Amino acid sequence: MKVTIFGSGYVGLVTGACLAEAGNHVVCVDVDAAKVARLNQGEVPIHEPGLDALIRRNHAGGRLEFTTDVAKAVEHGLFQLIAVGTPPGEDGSADLRHVLEVARTIGARLQRHAVVVTKSTVPVGTADQVRATIDAALAARGATIDYDIVSNPEFLKEGAAIQDFMKPDRVVIGTNSTRSTELMRALYEPFTRNHDRLIVMDIRSAELTKYAANTMLATKISFMNELANIAERVGADIERVRVGIGSDPRIGYGFIYPGTGYGGSCFPKDVKALIHSAQQVGIEPEVLHAVEAVNARQKAILVRKLAAVLGAGLRGAKIALWGLAFKPNTDDMREAPSRVIIDALLAAGASVCAYDPIAMDEARRLYAGRPQVSFSADAYGATAGAAALLIATEWQEFRSPDFERLRTLLAHPRIFDGRNLYDPALLVRLGIDYYAIGRGLRAGESAR
């Protein structure tokens, strides 16, 4: 199969590398000449476990190419995949400028039948706009060329994207064409061999499925955080509640871990976009408004707990922060709770010394010129002389630290755990003041 992918961001690179790994000939096209040059030199601009090796192997094998030549790219592919960004506008709507610009590019250069596939996360009705844009470009050059439009939303988790693509839970195909259904089935056949995971539906349903999936997961997170705050006030342990409800197969254990809220490039953007789409058709999505409100409040919960304990002592205090990425196994800090935490601490007059296994370079870029924010080469170094340790990301290396060493390094042995990594009873025995999320210890109460 010959595949063209517009966009060499997260979705484009993972999709291109995985399709090439299955033997397809993939051309990734991007307008950023510097990025294309780095990719052709084997430099991968994002962190995703296993992606570097996958790209280098398939690039060396001639199955994966990177170019800025759009004419070559359109001429190459039977499949024309659109995987460009759809950033949120000021009103929360998805910005489709890049998607429609790609559609114009395809329409201006298409010479034979192709399957045009939207992989970007887009609102319902975008496929109609893509078709209209391609048709207009074809008409402008007096051409009549047959092509199909397909919606094929991605369901890739940062940190596990290659596994998600290679062994998908489902492959959603939105199309009104039997021909394109069979072509898409052939494209994905190497990844669905043990049983058919293709779910074929109409295009608008496929477009809504992506938003529905992400907003459902965001809703579970906010609901669990709301429960955690209730549990804390009534003296219950949310971790025991989580096990109690997760054992119900109708609920399950996925995405019911309380914490400091969701972040990243998908959930915040997609909740906003679905709210906007609903309002455009006269529906006020009250549940989604609540999901957003709970999440915004939850991101600052550790700072509120810390302020309740330190009071005026927060001004001038050094605070250690473990975890900067919005989740483990990525360097992505977009909408990360750590950013809300850092900004709130700086506003309160504190300084921050942070550590993250992967996201330090991104954090240095974001907080360049902010001398109140420093970074440690290791986790323990960040805690030296700190008035408290805050944990914002559940990296594996944070799960079983040397508590005696922490007790010695911290100016006062206090841990504010935004991911409920530790056993409260153990930390009480070790003489550490421990404040978690929804575990019955309210801010201001000592664990000792």
Catalytic residues: 266
The residue written with tokens 């002389």 in the block is 385
CA-to-CA separations, 368 to 279, 365, 373, 374, in angstroms, rounded: 38, 5, 9, 10
| Residues in CB range of 441: below 8 A, 6 or more apart | 232, 424, 434, 435, 447
Neighbours of 427 (CB within 10 A): 23
Distance, in Å, from the CA atom of 310 to the CA atom of 135, rounded to the nearest integer, reads 63
Sign of CA dihedral 121, 3, 14, 69: negative
Buried residues in 384-411 as b, exposed as e (16+ CB within 10 A): eebbbbbbbbbbeebeebebeebbebbe
Strands 147-151, 2-6: pairing is unpaired
Say which residue the tokens 């000021």 belong to: 90
